[in-house]
Structure 1
Amino acid sequence: MARKKTILKSHILDTAYEVVKTEGFEGFTARNIAKTMNCSTQPIYLEFKNMDDLKNELFAKVKDYLVETVFQKKRTDDAVLNTCLNYIHFAKEEPVFFRALFLGDELGADRMYALPFEAMLAAFEQEAKTKGLSKAEKKQAFEKIWIVVYGTAALVSQGLIKFDEKAVTANVKETIAKVS
């Protein structure tokens, strides 16, 4: 009779997610994930072809978290402002995770850039002032707004600037108003 698996693919993925969330990608090694799970590396390589395979599945889990949790918070009545503030709050509340995802290239800079872009496109569709913009105009508006949002989030996550809710909100609102 074959032995029953005790360490499942989902357990490994959840552990890898928690490791990146708390340690960044510096801790994303088979040995460290196995140590965290109190097992050998064998179950990891039985479930995933290699660490890049695990990383690709991790991206899907990260994407779900950002789309379903981070970008869904309603902080104001303006969907565009919410998207911006939610990103900055994520950087403030989970700085290690934010830096791992958005200041490095482990999951692919293009893929990670696309996540807030898609969230912003959805937000643009909810606001009368941006709904009628063409796709090219929306991309241009996003890029102008995102320079401020990304910069603020990066500085907050690194502790280089103090997070002041009123000042950050006013700055983002001003940027949005100039663009839309």
Structure 2
Amino acid sequence: MPKQRITKEMVVNAAFEIARNSGMEQVMVKNIADKIGCSVQPIYSYCKNMEGLRRDVVEQVGVFIQNYVRTHIDKEDLFRSTGRVYIQLAKEEPALFRIFILHQRNGISSLDDLYRKETDPHVAEFIAGQLNISTDKAKQLHLNMLIYTIGIGTIFSVTEPGISADEIYMQLEAAYETFLKQALYA
């Protein structure tokens, strides 16, 4: 039988699957080699260091999450449903959610930096138009929901046996209503 040619894509995909099923801490050369069914040598040839491979995995996680959100969002209620989709993601893919939320973000020294780096700049304009509020108020509403969703989603993804999704969604909806009132009447 001819030798299997191991590619970088195979290594990154195997590392992604390991991270998805067991968390980033299990992304190790031996585990990747076992997953692919090869010796550790081909893995080392692609991975000058594990940090670079982990960055590749984080990038693949980001792509996965963008596709997940795009396919699960309610296009009739974009803003409100986005939070629900992230909570659903935390439930269905807790390891990927944690990787996405907890990966190192460089160049962030304020919440405004975080907002600009992590969101589409047109979202605040869209929210402002939908709710008939200023773009600044829409941005603050969006930032508040982003912070709240990250927090409650993280709690949801790390609890055992787990908080019910209904309870989480109820909290998310209460936060939305509170932040919306603040945006509308402040």
TM bracket, shorter-chain basis: 0.7 to 0.9
Task: Give percent identity, aligned residues only.
Answer: 26
CA distance in 2, matches of 1:163, 1:101: 20
Amino acid at match of 2:95: V
CA distance in 2, matches of 1:116, 1:38: 38
How many pairs align? Answer: 171
Alignment map for 1:26-65 (pairs within 5 Å): 26-65=25-64
Moved more, 13-22 or 147-156: 147-156
Amino acid at match of 2:104: G
CA distance in 2, matches of 1:115, 1:66: 18
Cα 1:96/1:18, change in 2 over 3 Å: same
SS of aligned partner of 1:153:
helix
CA distance in 1, matches of 2:3, 2:169: 55
CA distance in 2, matches of 1:24, 1:117: 22
Are the aligned partners of 1:83 and 1:123 in contact in 2 as well (CA < 8 Å)?
no
Cα 1:4/1:179, change in 2 over 3 Å: farther
Cα 1:147/1:40, change in 2 over 3 Å: same
How far 1:76 sits from its partner (Å)?
6.0
Aligned with residue 163 of structure 1, among 162, 165, 169: 165
Are the aligned partners of 1:79 and 1:126 in contact in 2 as well (CA < 8 Å)?
no
SS of aligned partner of 2:14:
helix
CA distance in 2, matches of 1:130, 1:15: 47
Normalised by the size of structure 1, how large is the TM-score? 0.76
SS of aligned partner of 2:12:
helix
CA distance in 2, matches of 1:17, 1:130: 42
SS of aligned partner of 1:39:
coil
- Which residue in 1 is equivalent to 2:111? none
How far 1:132 sits from its partner (Å)?
4.8
CA distance in 1, matches of 2:116, 2:60: 12
Normalised by the size of structure 2, how large is the TM-score? 0.74
- Could you give the per-residue CA deviations for residues 29-74 of structure 1, whole angstroms, max 9, x where no partner exists? 1111112212122112212322122122222211211222225522
Amino acid at match of 1:133: T
- Which residue in 1 is equivalent to 2:110? none
Gapped regions of structure 1 (runs ≥ 5): none
Cα 1:18/1:166, change in 2 over 3 Å: closer
Amino acid at match of 2:57: L
How far 1:101 sits from its partner (Å)?
3.2
CA distance in 2, matches of 1:81, 1:116: 21
Aligned with residue 133 of structure 1, among 114, 135, 143: 135
- Which residue in 2 is equivalent to 1:80? 79
Are the aligned partners of 1:19 and 1:28 in contact in 2 as well (CA < 8 Å)?
yes
